[in-house]
Amino acid sequence: MTHDKLPLEPLFDKIEELKPRFIDRLTRAVAIKSVSADETLRPEVAKMADFLVDELTALGFVDIQKKDLGIQPPPVNDPKLPLPPVVLARSGADSSKKTVLIYGHYDVQPALIEDGWNTDPFVLTHDTVKDILYGRGSTDDKGPVMGWLNVIEAHRQLGWELPVNIVCCFEGMEESGSVGLPELIAQEAKKYFSTVDATCISDNYWLGTRKPVLTYGLRGVHYYEIVVSGPAADLHSGIFGGMVGEPMTDLVKVMGSLVDSQGRIQIPGIAEMVAPLTDEEDKLYDPIDYSIDDLNDATGAKISLHDNKKDALKHRWRYPSLSLHGIEGGFSAPGAKTVIPARVSGKFSIRTVPNIEPRKLDQLVVDFCNEQFAKLGSVNTLKAQLIHDGNYWVSNPFNDNFTAAAKATVDVWNIEPDFTREGGSIPITLSFEQELGKDVLLLPMGRGDDGAHSINEKLDMSNYINGCKTLGAYLHYYAKQ
């Protein structure tokens, strides 16, 4: 892609110049232990919201609100535990400009140095040899959130007007299920968010470590349970083995019928719903920086079902998959207990993609389980049901939002980004798209090896600084699309 470059060098230079301030900002953010999963740290999460309010105020944001989401619903230890607020803020209200909604989260995953961190997780530590910043939240998601603030600061110091109006939506419960946020988005869609033209979320990662990506799709997930019931209580296999139908026998047969060892779903009707691969989409896979070796490195074993990058990634991103997660109710301890379990349940899930119809999928799955069970001629009873679902999301990677981000990436990194999807789901993406009716872009800052939820979470300095440049350039290109 070649494009008419905007004159953004002064912005990029200013970002380089402000690097010490930006490191300081991230250091102060990381120091706040805003772990949403730890009830005892809820005051720290609140403190992090206040930190953002102070920063936003200093940067000239207006209409700053801490949206109260009420009390956290069970299960909680403290029945009066307040949910962290959603911080809303806006910069600019120029009706001649487009408005971009920026989403990020200010809570982080738990972290204890005893878990194996090389440094204090809540002290941002600069490894000056590798030029890497270590700390909890450095990449997920305090780095990107500070990135947006850094962009604003650079503009102010340059005396530049922002090319778009900005609306911030920063939540403090992302690592704990985004409780309350979907409702808030729905409530504010025609109010605080009424002028939004596009949403940009910087809360995922490059596919690998070498090449920037833009993410245009997420698979959905439908989670199912099969329960097989027989006797009123567990039986002793010495006494009853051979005389009675055993629920575990039926369950493994039904579960074994769902998918083959090559990962091919055996339930008829699902493959037919999958959107055909277009040439245009297929071409997106050609340049992607990924290999089967990368997959083998990630799994620590040679268990790839495909011998080439493109097939592997398509099965990760644009085809459905079915995983069996486990069986409950049986004997699953050390030793040799001779039990016939009375009631066993199996759990499995299907990753969904366009154009799988959710309710039709559920019907196909439940019908198939019932049919397979009927074939067994069992004396027991089976019940299969959906227990949880979240829909897939896919965007047009050639729309204005993505095109702007692609141009920004080329300017900063001097390379075309890979267009990727993610195999897992980020439900809030769909909430923004559906409630606001506007395009959503996933524009990651960090790399695939940042260890977002692991020990020694990190953000490469180049990703932090170039990430700030990319976020800033994106706003300028989007303003011109």
Which stretches of the chain bind Zn ion, using CB under 5 A?
Answer: 140-141, 203
C-beta closer to its own copies: residue 238 or 276: 238
Tell me: does residue 10 bind its own copies (CB under 8 A).
Answer: no
What is d(CA 86, CA 47) in angstroms, rounded to the nearest whole number? 13
C-beta closer to its own copies: residue 299 or 363: 299
Q: Which of 77, 261, 278, 414 is the binder for its own copies (CB under 8 A)?
A: 261
C-beta closer to its own copies: residue 77 or 95: 77
Instruction: Check the annotation: does 91 bind a ligand.
Output: no
Pick what 422 binds: Zn ion, its own copies, none; C-beta below 5 to 8 Å, kind-dependent.
Answer: its own copies
**Catalytic (active site) residue 357:** no
Q: What is the dihedral of CA 7, 10, 11, 15, to 10 degrees?
A: 150
Q: Which of 20, 243, 272, 286 is the binder for its own copies (CB under 8 A)?
A: 243
Please give the residues from 379 up to 418 whose contact with its own copies meets the rule CB under 8 A. Answer: 379-380, 387-388
Cα angle 337, 339, 345 (rounded to 5 degrees) comes to 115
Taking the complex as a whole, how short is the minimal distance between the CB of residue 453 and Zn ion, in angstroms? 6
Catalytic choice (55, 153, 171, 174): 174
Instruction: Check the annotation: does 433 bind a ligand.
Output: no
C-beta closer to its own copies: residue 97 or 315: 315
Pick what 230 binds: Zn ion, its own copies, none; C-beta below 5 to 8 Å, kind-dependent.
Answer: its own copies
Tell me: does residue 341 bind its own copies (CB under 8 A).
Answer: yes
C-beta closer to its own copies: residue 58 or 379: 379
Q: Which of 37, 62, 76, 305 is the binder for its own copies (CB under 8 A)?
A: 305
Cα angle 118, 120, 121 (rounded to 5 degrees) comes to 95
Cα angle 303, 304, 305 (rounded to 5 degrees) comes to 115
Report the phi/psi class of residue 66: left, alpha or beta, with left for phi > 0 and alpha for psi in -120 to 50: beta
**Catalytic (active site) residue 282:** no
Instruction: Check the annotation: does 126 bind a ligand.
Output: no
Tell me: does residue 110 bind its own copies (CB under 8 A).
Answer: no
Span near its own copies by CB under 8 A; candidates 85-93, 120-128, 171-179, 242-250 = 242-250
Tokens in use for 128? 């000056």
Pick what 322 binds: Zn ion, its own copies, none; C-beta below 5 to 8 Å, kind-dependent.
Answer: its own copies
Please give the residues from 20 up to 59 whose contact with its own copies meets the rule CB under 8 A. Answer: none
Please give the residues from 189 up to 208 whose contact with its own copies meets the rule CB under 8 A. Answer: none
Span near its own copies by CB under 8 A; candidates 246-254, 400-408, 411-419, 465-473 = 246-254
Tell me: does residue 338 bind its own copies (CB under 8 A).
Answer: yes
For residue 427, which of 393, 394, 401 has the smallest C-alpha distance? Answer: 393
**Angle, nearest 10°, between helix axes 292-299 and 309-317?**
60
What is d(CA 101, CA 196) in angstroms, rounded to the nearest whole number? 6
13 CB contacts (<8 Å, ≥6 apart)?
none
Pick what 256 binds: its own copies, Zn ion, none; C-beta below 5 to 8 Å, kind-dependent.
Answer: its own copies
Q: Which amino acid is at 161?
A: E
Instruction: Check the annotation: does 236 bind a ligand.
Output: yes
Cα angle 73, 77, 78 (rounded to 5 degrees) comes to 70
Q: Return the H-helix or E-strand segment holding 47.
A: helix 42-58
Catalytic choice (44, 107, 153, 246): 107
What is d(CA 409, CA 443) in angstroms, rounded to the nearest whole number? 10
Q: Is residue 75 reached through a cis peptide bond, with omega within 30 degrees of 0 on the bond before it? A: yes
C-beta closer to its own copies: residue 80 or 302: 302
**Which neighbouring-strand residues pair with 214?**
419
Tell me: does residue 455 bind its own copies (CB under 8 A).
Answer: no
What is d(CA 167, CA 199) in angstroms, rounded to the nearest whole number? 9
Tell me the site size for its own copies, rule CB under 8 A. Answer: 81
Per-residue HEC secondary structure of 445-469 comes to: CECCCCCCCCCCCEEEHHHHHHHHH
Taking the complex as a whole, how short is the minimal distance between the CB of residue 54 and its own copies, in angstroms? 36
C-beta closer to its own copies: residue 88 or 312: 312
Q: Which of 328, 367, 433, 449 is the binder for its own copies (CB under 8 A)?
A: 328
Instruction: Check the annotation: does 418 bind a ligand.
Output: no
Tokens in use for 58? 């200093």
Ranges of beta strands (E only) in 112-197 are: 125-127, 132-134, 165-171
Instruction: Check the annotation: does 175 bind a ligand.
Output: yes
For residue 415, which of 287, 285, 286 has the smallest C-alpha distance? Answer: 287
For residue 400, which of 445, 441, 444 has the smallest C-alpha distance? Answer: 441
Pick what 141 binds: Zn ion, its own copies, none; C-beta below 5 to 8 Å, kind-dependent.
Answer: Zn ion
DSSP code, position 151:
H
C-beta closer to its own copies: residue 6 or 244: 244
Pick what 203 binds: Zn ion, its own copies, none; C-beta below 5 to 8 Å, kind-dependent.
Answer: Zn ion
Tell me: does residue 299 bind its own copies (CB under 8 A).
Answer: yes
Taking the complex as a whole, how short is the minimal distance between the CB of residue 202 and Zn ion, in angstroms? 9
**How long is the chain?**
481
Determine whether 238 is exposed, middle or buried from the number of CB atoms within 10 Å of its CB (0-12, 13-18, 19+): exposed
Whether the Cβ atoms of residue 226 and residue 384 lie closer than 8 Å to each other:
yes
Instruction: Check the annotation: does 54 bind a ligand.
Output: no
Q: Active-site residues: which are they?
A: 107, 174
Annotated binding residues for Mn(2+), as ranges? 105, 140, 175, 203, 453
Annotated binding residues for substrate, as ranges? 203, 236, 338, 351, 425, 453
